Amino acid sequence: MARLGITRIAERRKRIVAALTVFLEMYTAVSALVLLMASTTSLNSYRPSIKHYSLDSYYKREYVQRILNNNELCISLLRMNLQTFSKLCEMLESLGGLKPTRNMTIGEQVVIFLHILAHHVKNRVIQYNYGRSGESISRAFHKVLNAIMHLQGHLFRTPEPISANCTDSRWKWFKNCLGALDGTFIKVNVPSSDKPRYRTRKGDIATNVLGVCTPDMQFVYVLSGWEGSVADSRVLRDAIRKRSDTCEPITADSLLGAAMMLSEKLESVGDKISKSLGTELTLQQKIEQLEGKLSEIEGLEYDDKFMALIKLPEYPNQMLVFFSLAADQRLEWVKMFLATY
């Protein structure tokens, strides 16, 4: 009877172990099936996670403050010191009509405008530096540009002729002269169909701009809009013939009248220059007269006379200036010419 009880207990244990084994195997199979179904579902519905980057607006405004709080940085980036920048902002606000917006002050608008002009940077670069959209950058640039246009009457200086007692060695020979003019190329972006007309002789796409400035580098006249392929003489001719709403067309008579109004002495000098320019003598005849005129100058050494006789024909414009001068002014002019050329 004792052995029978032990046998039953052993069989019962075997059945329990077998049942547990089957249960564990079934549990393992079901778990694997569930994991497989879950992984299949996740693959079909997968969406990449997107990180949201927030723009640190305070840091971007701090970039402008760093420029406006450092004079050397302001000169480096904007090409003017802080005092000049403050005066420009005041003029743009009071005279040009520039107004701040809800999110951009006048100072930041002018900083962006000057940064683009000073370094010829693109809109995308300004977007990154100042934390603004391309539309905001473009809108601010054009607002400041329109305000600058309203300052034309204040920024352009009224020309004053060179005085008779001028001591500047470079300008004392040009009595009653208003200034100097020259042309320059400014690169522009134009449609592809217009590029041939704006292509310069060096291959750049630019516009030909004529500027006139006084001896102290103050602009008194600017003419823009001509294509880069146009010759300088044509731009100058257009400037002379240009009409305005308040002025009469510029003619030779009006130029002569203006010259007579500038100074009494200019009348005699301009008369001599006009005679030199309007004479029918050829350049070769002028050269033949040059030796005699040089010989008439008292105090001119032989070596200087010889060098002037060689160099002056190489510069026809300077030779015409020499003939227009009075006899007592030619000695000093020749010495200055030889020192310069």
Q: CA 307, CA 310: separation in Å to the nearest integer?
A: 5
> Among all chains, which residue has been given the structure tokens 């006048």?
106
The pLDDT of 94-120, averaged and rounded, is 91
Q: Which percentage of the chain shows pLDDT scores above 90? A: 24
The pLDDT of 14-22, averaged and rounded, is 81
CA neighbor of 219 nearest in space, from 141, 147, 151? 151
Confidence of residue 86 (pLDDT cuts 50, 70, 90): very high
Helices (H), the chain: 2-44, 57-68, 71-78, 82-94, 106-119, 123-130, 134-150, 152-155, 195-198, 232-241, 252-262, 264-278, 283-295, 302-311, 316-324, 330-340
Domain residue spans of the chain: 1-33, 57-155, 157-245, 279-340
Encode pLDDT of 124-164 as tens digits.
999 988 889 999 999 999 999 999 989 888 877 777 888 88
Q: CA 172, CA 138: separation in Å to the nearest integer?
A: 46
pLDDT at residue 94 above 60? yes
pLDDT at residue 271 above 70? no
In this prediction, residue 264 carries a pLDDT of: 45
More confident residue, 27 or 93: 93
Q: What is the dihedral angle through the alpha carbons of 76, 79, 82, 84, rounded to the nearest 10 degrees? A: 170
In this prediction, residue 214 carries a pLDDT of: 86
In this prediction, residue 262 carries a pLDDT of: 45
Pair of tokens at residue 72: 């050397």
Confidence of residue 42 (pLDDT cuts 50, 70, 90): low
More confident residue, 181 or 341: 181
Which range scores top for mean pLDDT: 39-43, 49-53, 54-58, 107-111?
Answer: 107-111
Encode pLDDT of 299-323 as tens digits.
888 778 778 877 777 777 777 777 7
pLDDT at residue 232 above 60? yes
Confidence of residue 247 (pLDDT cuts 50, 70, 90): very low
In this prediction, residue 136 carries a pLDDT of: 93
In this prediction, residue 284 carries a pLDDT of: 62
The pLDDT of 265-272, averaged and rounded, is 47
Q: CA 277, CA 279: separation in Å to the nearest integer?
A: 6
In this prediction, residue 246 carries a pLDDT of: 43
Model-level pTM? Answer: 0.48
Confidence of residue 328 (pLDDT cuts 50, 70, 90): confident
In this prediction, residue 183 carries a pLDDT of: 92
The pLDDT of 196-213, averaged and rounded, is 91
Q: Cα–Cα–Cα angle for 313, 315, 318, nearest 5°? A: 105
pLDDT at residue 238 above 90? no
Q: CA 206, CA 198: separation in Å to the nearest integer?
A: 6
The pLDDT of 77-101, averaged and rounded, is 92
pLDDT at residue 52 above 50? no
For the chain, give the mean pLDDT.
78
